[in-house]
Amino acid sequence: MKPIKFGTDGWRGVIAEDFTFENVSRVAQAAAKFWRENPVPGTAPVVVIGYDRRFMSEDFRTAFCRNHSS
């Protein structure tokens, strides 16, 4: 499994090579764990997951939403 690399503009990688549904799931799990373990005091636990017009962006957003809650 290749490491996931982030830069100043976000995730760095090639779709279907580095940026895969499996890796989106890994990031979703890590984000959910971080948010669960580091709540912001005095706020409701709300996360907004968006997408843009890039290839399969909406599909990757849906995969993230499906995986982040466990």
- Tens digit of each residue's pLDDT (9 = 90 or more) over 29-64: 999 999 999 999 999 988 898 888 888 999 999 999
How sure is the predictor about 67, in pLDDT bands with cuts at 50, 70 and 90?
low
Residue 40 pLDDT? 93
Query: In this structure, what DSSP letter does residue 12 have?
Result: E
* Neighbouring-strand partners of residue 5: 12
Gap between the Cα atoms of 5 and 12, Å rounded: 5
